[in-house]
Amino acid sequence: MVEWTDNERAIINSIFSNLDYEEIGRKSLCRCLIVYPWTQRYFGGFGNLYNAETILCNPLIAAHGTKILHGLDRALKNMDDIKNTYAELSLLHSDKLHVDPDNFRLLADCLTVVIAAKMGPAFTVDTQVAWQKFLSVVVSALGRQYH
């Protein structure tokens, strides 16, 4: 089981309570699709992904970004059992969506960059440590049920 200090819990809760899910979700997913274009393979049915501009204006991508970010709420509400919280979602990504789990890490890195840009200097070393620890637990849980 992952151990969280009170400080880490406070940091993670603070980030989420100030989060604009639509803005950050859209920006993170778009950034992932642009910086790591091979991730576009999973979005064949999402309309025009021709270049960075069309990706950034794509409403389906924006909506999906928001959805992904709200998916993190589950981890936030169950920080002491993220592994089991995501068991079903992990199976979904493995068996139905067929997403290479390395992509979770790529999206997590983009999310970190977007949050850093948003928070600026408030994204201190300690904040980044807690944030990336949280994301790495989520990424690990999402990849856990692959078989």
Partner 1 sequence: MSLTPKDKATVKLFWGRMSGKAELIGADALSRMLAVYPQTKTYFSHWKSLSPGSPDVKKHGKTIMMGIGDAVTKMDDLERGLLTLSELHAFKLRVDPTNFKLLSLNILVVMAIMFPDDFTPMAHLAVDKFLCALALALSEKYR
Q: Which residue ranges make up the site for partner 1 (CB under 8 A)?
A: 30-31, 34-35, 52, 56, 109, 112-114, 116-121, 123, 125-126, 128-129, 132
> What are the angstrom distances between the C-alpha of 139 and each of 20, 48, 52?
21, 28, 26
Q: CB-wise, 45 or 121, nearer to partner 1?
A: 121
Q: Taking Cα atoms as reference points, which of 11, 3, 2 lies closest to residue 129? A: 11
Q: CB-wise, 90 or 111, nearer to partner 1?
A: 111
Least distance between partner 1 and beta carbon 120 (Å)? 6
In sign, the C-alpha dihedral spanning 64, 93, 144, 82 is positive
Least distance between partner 1 and beta carbon 146 (Å)? 21
Least distance between partner 1 and beta carbon 138 (Å)? 15
Q: CB-wise, 32 or 90, nearer to partner 1?
A: 32
Least distance between partner 1 and beta carbon 128 (Å)? 6
> What are the angstrom distances between the C-alpha of 101 and each of 18, 51, 71, 104?
28, 24, 16, 5
Can you read off the two tokens belonging to residue 137?
């637990």
Q: CB-wise, 128 or 145, nearer to partner 1?
A: 128
